[in-house]
Amino acid sequence: MELQRYNRLLLIFIHGFKGNERTFEDFPERLRTVLTNSLTAVDVDVVVYPQYETRGDLKAAATNLCNWIMKIGEERCEHGLPPPLIVLMGHSMGGLLAADAFFNLKEATAEAPEEEKKHIPKIIGILAYDTPYYGVEANLFAETARTRATDLHSKYGSAISLVSTLGAAVKTATTSTAVARVATDSVTAASSKMKWGTIGAVVAATAAAGATIYWQKENLQNGVSYVTEHLEFVKALTRKEELKERVKRLKEMSNEIIFHCYYMQIQGKSGYVRTFIIPPPEETAEFFTPVKSAAPDEVDAHTTMFNPGINHQYYQLGDASIKLITVMVRNNM
C-alpha cells in the first residue's frame, strides 16, 4: 500500500431505529478532538450520517449507506484527493446497518474495474454501541413496562387502545393476549419467559411499555399505519439465523477490519444484570464489552449511552473507542 494513498480518517456515526443526528450528542466531536491531536499522519473528521427513515427493508437502508460512502470517494477523486479511511460507528440498529454496508462495499470493490477501485473509500473498522447483533432481550419491554405503565397510561391513555388494534393488524403475532399483557397496566402478570419471537410483540411492547424516549415521544394516535410502516425494518431483529450469520462474517473478516461492540448493563433490583441486547455467546464474546450504566432501566441505558450525566462510563467508553481507532489507523498506514 502506498503511504500517501490515505491521508484522511472519517468517522461515520449511524443512528438506530427512530434515532436522529442528536443521538450521539457530543461524543463524535470529543473523539475528533482527541484523535486530531494524537494521529498526526491523517486529518480526522467526523460526520453523522443524515437522518434516514427507519422503515422498509434493512437491506435497502444498507445499500443507501454504501452508495453514500462511495459518493464520498467519488467527490474526493473529482478534487484530486485520495479516498478516506473510514470507521463506521453505529448505535443500536445502526450497528447492523454498518455491518451490512461494509459487506456491500466489499462486494462493490471486488466487482469494480481496477481504475475505479483506487477511488473507493476503505472501511477499516466497525464500532457498535448497544447494537442487538443477536437480538433484543426477551424480557426487556415487560420489565420496562412494570416501572412505566402507570406514567404511560396517564400521558398516552388514548394511545393505549392502539395496541388492541395491532393484535389484529399484525399477522405475525402469535396471540393478542401476549400483546395486551404488555400493553396494559396489569402487565405485572407477564411471564419472565416471554419470547422475543414475533414482530407484533416487538411493536406493541415498544409502544405500550413506555419506551417513549426510544420512539422520540411521537404521537402514537397516528394509528396503526405509522407503526406498521416500520415493521419490516425492525423485523431484522427476529431473524435469528441472519443475526448469527452477520456476526460470524464479521469474525471471519477480523484480519481485514477491527470490529467491536460495547453494550450497556444495569443492575436489576433483584441483583441480576439486565441488558438491552442479548449478550453474545462465548464464541464471539471477545468482540463485545459490557458497560455499566446508572440508568433506571434498559431502555434508558440504551438511549442515554452518550449522556455523561447518566452513563458514568461515558469517558471510559470514549477512551476505549479512541484506542481501537488508533490501532485501526496504524494497521493501515
The residue that leads in pLDDT, 306 or 296, is 306
State the cell numbers at 177: 393476549
**Mean pLDDT for all residues in the chain:** 77
- For the CA atoms of 132, 137, 140, 141, what is the dihedral angle to 10 degrees? 80
CB atoms within 10 A of CB 168: 12
pLDDT at 58: 82
The residue that leads in pLDDT, 36 or 172, is 36
| Residues 122, 293: Cα–Cα separation, whole Å | 33
Question: In the predicted model, what is the mean pLDDT of residues 244-254?
Answer: 95
pLDDT at 140: 64
pLDDT at 228: 47
Interval 96-125: pLDDT, tens: 999 999 999 999 988 888 878 888 899 999
Task: Tell me the H-state helices in the chain.
Answer: 27-38, 58-78, 94-111, 114-117, 140-160, 162-169, 176-183, 199-208, 224-228, 231-234, 240-252, 298-303, 314-331
Among 72-81, 148-157, 167-176, 244-253, the range with the most confident prediction by mean pLDDT is 244-253
Interval 189-228: pLDDT, tens: 344 434 444 444 444 444 444 444 344 444 444 444 444 4
Question: In the predicted model, what is the mean pLDDT of residues 16-38?
Answer: 90
Query: Do 246 and 239 contact (CB within 8 A), yes or no?
Result: no
CATH assignment of 3-130+240-331? 3.40.50.1820
pLDDT for residue 319 is more than 50: yes
State the cell numbers at 204: 406493541
Give the residue among 93, 227, 76, 206 at the shortest CA–CA distance from 141. 206
CA-CA distances (angstroms) from residue 83 to 73, 108, 113?
A: 5, 15, 16
Question: In the predicted model, what is the mean pLDDT of residues 274-293?
Answer: 95
Strand, coil or helix: 305? coil
Question: In the predicted model, what is the mean pLDDT of residues 241-269?
Answer: 93
Question: In the predicted model, what is the mean pLDDT of residues 292-304?
Answer: 90
Question: In the predicted model, what is the mean pLDDT of residues 237-254?
Answer: 93
Confidence of residue 178 (pLDDT cuts 50, 70, 90): very low
State the cell numbers at 276: 438491552
Name beta bridge partners: 123: 86
Backbone φ and ψ for 20, nearest 5 degrees, come out as -160, -170
Q: Which residues contact 251 (CB under 8 A, 6 or more apart)?
A: 259, 284, 287
pLDDT at 276: 92
pLDDT for residue 12 is more than 80: yes
Domain borders along the chain are 3-130+240-331, 141-238
| Residues 237, 122: Cα–Cα separation, whole Å | 28
pLDDT at 13: 96
What whole-number percentage of the chain has pLDDT above 70?
A: 69
pLDDT at 119: 86
Question: In the predicted model, what is the mean pLDDT of residues 136-147?
Answer: 63
Confidence of residue 52 (pLDDT cuts 50, 70, 90): low
Confidence of residue 55 (pLDDT cuts 50, 70, 90): low
